[in-house]
Structure 1
Amino acid sequence: METTTLDNKQLEKLRDMIEDIRIAMMTTVDGQGNLVSRPMAALQVDENGTVWFFTKRSSPKVDQIDNSENRVNLSFADVSDATYVSVSGTAQELDDRAKVDELWNPQAKAWFPDGKEDPDLILLKVHIDMAEYWNASDSTMVRIIQQAASVITGNPPKMGENVKVYN
């Protein structure tokens, strides 16, 4: 596994992978120390390595973030393309109406029926501190053949790149 500091090229690749997958499982820690995950739609990954989400101010995850030193994990998976991303970062709630306007999309209305002006609507921004991704560039058929060959040879298959980056 390659470990590096996040540069512009790697950030761009990470942004592309996250934006293609779009749905993350966001993990926080509840008051009893349990890990709690829920699906969240990533709205944007900006040039600074920040992932943006809409959430409700009254959501339990907001309290969980505040109680866990703002640490979260985001997991993205696209099984069909064998692309997986794990992000550790620092989350912050933000009430920024200009940013809400910028990121608003028609799908958000399902969760926020009052639209962009919903008083419970806030932003969560997660600054990427560390990310790890696995990406197989081979087709599904090639990956299946590699896995079958590894059973015969006893050597693990080479299933693509695995990179850990720090921001």
Structure 2
Amino acid sequence: METTAQKNKELEKVQELVDDIGIAMMTTVDDQGQLVSRPMAALQMDEEGSIWFFTKRSAPKVAQIENNERRVNLSFAKVGDAEYVSVSGTADELDDRAKIDELWNPVAKAWFPEGKDDPELTLLKVHIDMAEYWNASDSKMVRFFQQATAAITGNPPKMGENQKVYN
């Protein structure tokens, strides 16, 4: 994922974690009011605190975003390292050829066989309203020991950093 310096310095840790994890589960609401999630590769978190994705113009998520006040949630998880990020925000579909050129990578061709000029290719830009992250700085063994100690003592374990950030 491409990274840029954040104007909101509180988002720097979020950006670091999003960059490390890379894949989000993007949740929208369908026509029946059901929550629907799908994996999406984050391409960039820009300086304004927006995360960019490629998508197909005809994908159901595009209509779901438009029909539900553009509200989405992104969940990032790297379980082995105990890194988690939850982002709530608003999404916009954009047909910005210059931005597509900037973000294009060879892996995207698997989903867009005609390349950058694929008529189905469009962008989703998710502006972060609020992000919350959890990040354990200790190793798995230390976390396991802390959990075992907590189970014996009844005192909750200290499992690392947890922070809410508003943009």
TM-score (norm. length: structure 1): 0.95
Q: 3-state SS of the aligned residue for 2:158?
A: coil
8 Å Cα contact 2:8/2:48 also seen in 1: no
Q: Aligned equivalents of 1:59 and 1:8: distance in 2?
A: 32
- Aligned 1:31-46 pairs, distance under 5 A: 31-46=31-46
Change (3 A) 1:101 1:7: closer
Taking the aligned partners of 1:39 and 1:164, their CA distance within structure 2 comes to: 23
How far apart are residue 9 of structure 1 and its match? Answer: 3.1
Aligned length: 162
Which stretches of structure 1, 4 residues or more, deviate above 6 A after TM superposition? none
2:52 is equivalent to residue 52 of structure 1: yes
Q: Equivalents in 2 of 1:10, 1:78: separation in Å?
A: 21
Q: Does 1:81 align with 2:81?
A: yes
- CA distance in 1 between partners of 2:135 and 2:7 (Å): 18
CA RMSD of aligned residues (A): 1.1
Counterpart position of 1:144: 144
> What is the aligned partner in structure 2 of residue 28 from structure 1?
28
Provide the secondary structure at the position in 2 that maps to 1:137.
coil
Distance in 1 (CA, whole Å) between partners of 2:156 and 2:100 is 46
- Give a deviation string over 1:49-99, Cα, whole Å, max 9, x none: 000000000000000000000000000000111000000000000000000
**CA apart distance, 1:151:** 0.7
Q: Which runs of 5+ in 2 are unaligned?
A: 1-5
The one-letter code sitting in structure 2 at the alignment partner of 1:136 is: A
Q: Distance in 2 between matches of 1:151 and 1:133?
A: 24
Compare relative contact order (CA 8 Å, sep 6+) and give the higher one, 1 or 2.
1
Match of 2:135 in 1: 135
Give the 3-state SS of the residue equivalent to 1:108 in structure 2: helix
Q: Which amino acid aligns with 1:66?
A: E
Normalised TM-score (structure 2): 0.95
Aligned to 2:72: 72
Residues in 2 aligned to 1:63 and 1:7: alpha-carbon distance in whole angstroms: 31
Which amino acid is 2:159 matched to?
M
Q: Helix, strand or coil for the counterpart of 2:73?
A: strand
Partner of 2:109: 109
1:7: how far off? 7.1
Matched letter for residue 14 of structure 1: V
